[in-house]
Amino acid sequence: GYTRLSDPVGHRRFVFHAHGAPWVIRDVVEGSQIHEVEASWHFAPDLLVTSAKGGFRATVDPSTNHHTPGTAPGLNLSWASRSALNGFIESGYVSPSYGARKTAPVVRLRIQNKLPVEFATVLIPSETRANSESDFRLLSKESDSVQAYSYSSGDVTDLFYFSLAGKPWTFNSWESDATFLYCRQSKGRVVHLVLVNGSSVNHGSKSLIHHSHSIERFEWLKKGDASVTYCSHHTPVEHA
């Protein structure tokens, strides 16, 4: 829709969520000139949206529910970008039915920068206030061949790797040829892996996943003393 501009702009959005993990939405905006880029998050009319450490928090308005203040179910929203990104709350509208309109809060994330730019938004549902130790950040540098994000809360870290070149990549202690890789570490131990469009994952000197051909999707999950594996490929996949 933005290719009609004098400087044609392309927008791509990547969405990832695994059970028990945060929702991560990565927006990539491609072009060659300076543009104002804005993402809008529209919330329901009965939610209270407030500023929080590192972003915003949406909760059920305590004046309309019976939850003890500070314990209502909520959604924490944070973002990470290499460019300077501003986040703010506005009053907007939603339409629950034809011909009806209700006032509702909107969170807007805005960048004015020379394209290409990208930013990622993390959504974390929670029953209580956001963990004060939580942190969402971009790890990679502009020269890296992979975009790496991390979300840390307590002793759990979620890592998200998006390949930029479509070829094998290395970042810190990780090596893979996947177009996307997700890893959850608990107390420093890998407990969850998701690979998309790739054949191998190495961590340090250890091979975690290996297959002779690229796999559309592979998932390994630690459950207590057992592990569960899902694979889109019909032949066995070697994994540690």
Residues 2-60 pLDDT 10s: 899 899 999 999 999 998 889 999 999 999 999 999 999 999 999 999 998 889 999 98
The full DSSP string for 54-91 is TEEEEEE-GGGS-SPTT-S-EEEEEEEESS--EEEEEE
The pairing of strands 135-138 and 34-42 is unpaired
Q: How far apart are CA 44 and CA 168, in angstroms?
A: 42
178-195 pLDDT, tens digit per residue, is 999 999 999 989 999 999
pLDDT category of residue 238 using cuts at 50, 70 and 90 = low
pLDDT category of residue 130 using cuts at 50, 70 and 90 = very low
Question: Which whole number is the average pLDDT over 152-160?
Answer: 94
Task: Average the pLDDT over each of 86-90, 212-216, 235-239 and give the range with the smallest value.
Answer: 235-239
- Report the Cα 211 to chain-centroid distance in Å: 27
The full DSSP string for 92-151 is EEE-SSTT--EEEEEEEEEEEEESPEEEEEEEEEESSSPPTT-EEEE---TTSSEEEEEE
Q: How far apart are CA 135 and CA 197, in angstroms?
A: 28
CA angle (22, 169, 84) in 5-degree steps:
55
Question: Which whole number is the average pLDDT over 143-152?
Answer: 94
44-102 pLDDT, tens digit per residue, is 999 999 998 889 999 987 666 555 655 667 899 999 999 889 999 999 999 989 999 99
Can you tell me which residue has the tokens 């407990």?
191
What pLDDT does residue 129 have? 42
pTM over 0.75: yes
What pLDDT does residue 97 have? 92
Q: Measured on CA atoms in the order 154, 140, 120, 89, is the torsion positive or negative?
A: positive
Q: How far apart are CA 166 and CA 58, in angstroms?
A: 37
What pLDDT does residue 73 have? 79
CA angle (164, 18, 229) in 5-degree steps:
95
Residues with Cβ within 8 Å of residue 11, at least 6 apart in sequence: 2, 27, 28, 29, 30
Q: How far apart are CA 62 and CA 38, in angstroms?
A: 30
Can you tell me which residue has the tokens 């809008």?
40
What pLDDT does residue 16 have? 97
